[in-house]
Amino acid sequence: MNPTRFLNRAHAGQALAKALTRYVGQDDVLVLGLPRGGVPVAFEVARKLAAPLDVMLVRKLGVPGWEELAMGAIASGGVQVLNQAVIRSAMVSDQEVAAAAATQLKELQRREQIYRPHRGHPPIADQTVILVDDGIATGSTILAAVRALRKQKPDRIVIAVPVASVEASALLRPLVDDYIAILVPADFRAVGYWYDSFPQTSDAEVTQFLEKASAFEPARDTAP
């Protein structure tokens, strides 16, 4: 039986892993967590699947003064996704969008250095890539991740999340090969509403999850 709420991100990841058992034992599966909150969830998935775990670096572009509301996102590889409806309704100028993108690009580059000081990028081509986050509100962030991944020609892209809004699910489901959301509540509110404990995940915790995952994942080559 599916939970109606999650105790924390570990509990959410364990529940999500049960919905992904068809991918157990496949040697072409790669699990990518969206930092920072998606990584603890992705860790549980990767552990269950005995699959490699890495990160997909994406940054949300928040509306100025209302940063939790996404007006778009950027991802590694120069991908930018904008939600024009949000930009228009919030009356955000082109200059404000550009400034937000520049700020988040710096943060994306900072995280690249922290999370991959000695790691190459994982191979994506011909792989089944499972994108994991702790939840999806507008879909802008994970949409940027999907577009960035498509450039690298994976065999399949799977989105797997504990909770997602109805609107984001309708947007994303047709764009990927498999879409799994345990909860798709009509009254979504916010991702954190569906967790009893929803603290911020630190950079140090992300790094620890990646290090711990290397102990149970199979050996793999990385791109230079």
Question: What are 86-142's pLDDT values in tens digits?
Answer: 999 999 999 999 999 999 999 989 988 888 776 677 889 999 999 999 999 989 889
Q: Report pLDDT for 48.
A: 94
Least confident of 2-11, 36-45, 178-187: 2-11
Mean pLDDT of the 195-217 span: 90
Contact 183, 81 (CB under 8 A): no
Out of 3.30.559.10, 3.40.50.2020, 1.10.10.10, 3.40.50.12280, select the CATH number for domain 9-57+122-213.
3.40.50.2020
Cα–Cα distance for residue pair 36/174, rounded to 1 Å: 26
pLDDT category at 68 given cuts 50, 70, 90 is confident
pLDDT at 59 over 50: yes
6-18 pLDDT per residue, tens: 999 999 999 999 9
Q: Report pLDDT for 63.
A: 93
pLDDT category at 218 given cuts 50, 70, 90 is low
Tokens 């990841």 belong to 13
**What is the model's pTM?**
0.86
79-89 pLDDT per residue, tens: 888 889 899 99
pLDDT at 209 over 90: yes
pLDDT at 223 over 80: no
Cα–Cα distance for residue pair 180/159, rounded to 1 Å: 6
Contact 82, 62 (CB under 8 A): no
